[in-house]
Structure 1
Amino acid sequence: MPTQPNSHRLRFGRASENGRAYLITAVTHERQPIFSDWQLGRLLVAELRRVHDASLVDSIAWVVMPDHFHWLMQLRDNNLGSVVGSTKSRCTQAVNKMTGRRGPLWQTGYHDRAIRDGEELLPFARYIVANPLRAGLVQKIGDYPLWDACWL
């Protein structure tokens, strides 16, 4: 199973801080556009909402793109790696069950950026929800079905 160069390094030196906001990006295995099928994308959306509803995080904004997702969230009383890992795992199980596929759905690891105290969250949220526009998937964000932001 080929891996991305240096993907193993994503795990080193990572610490999570409760109450801190994070911008998370996770990419599908071999950048397969699994979520081009919006019904499969809804399975990931359900997992993001489940984590929020379980009070593990406060979701601020997210978008599910064909081959990756961005998630701006504030970590509650939990571990960042556990939250992201379980979200990816549960999504994989749901997608594989619906499609009958096997094997990995996600690349190993994920990218996280801790938001510094005092940094405004709105620019990060705008970046996230504008992804489908920049990718040329839609002409206006309201036409894209796989995003949300807490300000709506």
Structure 2
Amino acid sequence: MSNLKPEAFYRRNLPHFVPPGATFFITFRLAGSIPQHILAGLKAELEQRQAELERASDAPEKVESLYLEQRRFFGKWDAVLGAGHGPDWLRQPPVAELVAGSMRYFDGQRYELLAYCIMSNHVHLVLTPLLKTEQEYYPLAQIMHSIKGYSATQANALLGRSGAFWQHENYDHYARSGAELERIIWYVLNNPVKAGLVDDWTAWPWTYCKEHNPEACGTASRNPLDCA
């Protein structure tokens, strides 16, 4: 994992820190999966807290405080997704398989795919962009455009519909340490267990973990990173 500090910061509707070469936790969701009034309230709350932190915090504390505030925002945002608002097209196995295939397609070429979990209306994904040239990594925005663009086109054709399939914006967060990465991967894989859909993560057909070795694991409900 890269120890690079954030070199780029951009904002559309959600906050993003994008250090080149880092390992990312990304959540992307179906269009219409969060009601607009709820999303607007979450964003307003986040912006208010960010403004307060900008005024009150010293520079070193500000970075950490903003980071913690983003994590709180994600927790609330993800809880709304878990409530199951809007379409649930990813519940259909052929659609879920399309999405899984789109994430696996450039694994080892443009990025290293570490883990994913496909839920009914959103996807959690962990990956590390690879070097495109000696000095440039594949941009995360390009990677996500490819995954979402292909899967949206194919899924719409399969469903016999048109229009937006994915919400344009993603939530992404880079892992700042190996310990944090392990916590992220376990969070991703444990999503269907937390939702009460299965008793252990290996029973969910739409989860993947690169480091998981079933023979070494013994008990499937254990953290897969303890069984690599």
> TM-score, normalized by length of structure 1?
0.86
Give the number of the structure with larger relative contact order, counting CA–CA contacts within 8 Å between residues 6 or more apart: 1
Does residue 147 of structure 2 align to residue 93 of structure 1? Answer: no
> How many matched pairs?
143
- After TM superposition, list the pairs within 5 Å mapping 1:51-90 onto structure 2: 51-53=106-108, 55-77=109-131, 78-90=138-150
The whole-number CA distance in structure 2 between the counterparts of 1:71 and 1:103 is 24
- 2:91 counterpart (13, 17, 36): 36
Q: Which amino acid aligns with 1:40?
A: V
Mark the CA change 1:97 to 1:16 in structure 2 (over 3 Å): closer, same or farther: farther
**Contact 2:110/2:130 (CA < 8 Å) preserved in 1?**
yes
CA contact (8 A) 1:25 1:69 kept: yes
- SS of residue paired to 1:51: coil
Over residues 92-133 of structure 1, what are the superposed CA-to-partner deviations in whole Å (9 max), with x where a residue is unaligned? 011012121111111121000011145442221110000001
Structure 1 residue matching 2:106: 3-state secondary structure: helix
Q: Which has the higher strand share?
A: 1
Identical columns (%): 22
For structure 1, the residue ranges without an aligned partner over 5 or more in a row are 1-6
Larger Rg: 2
| 1:124 and 2:188 matched | no
Q: TM-score, normalised by structure 2?
A: 0.59
* Distance in 1 (alpha carbons) for counterparts of 2:201 and 2:180: 21
Return the structure number with greater helix share. 2
What CA distance in whole angstroms lies between the structure 1 residues aligned with 2:32 and 2:125? Answer: 20
In the superposition, relative to structure 1, how do residues 117 and 139 fare at CA in structure 2: closer, same or farther (>3 Å)? Answer: closer
Offset at residue 138 of structure 1 (A):
1.6
For 1:120 and 1:14, locate their aligned partners in 2 and report how far apart those are by CA, in whole Å.
16
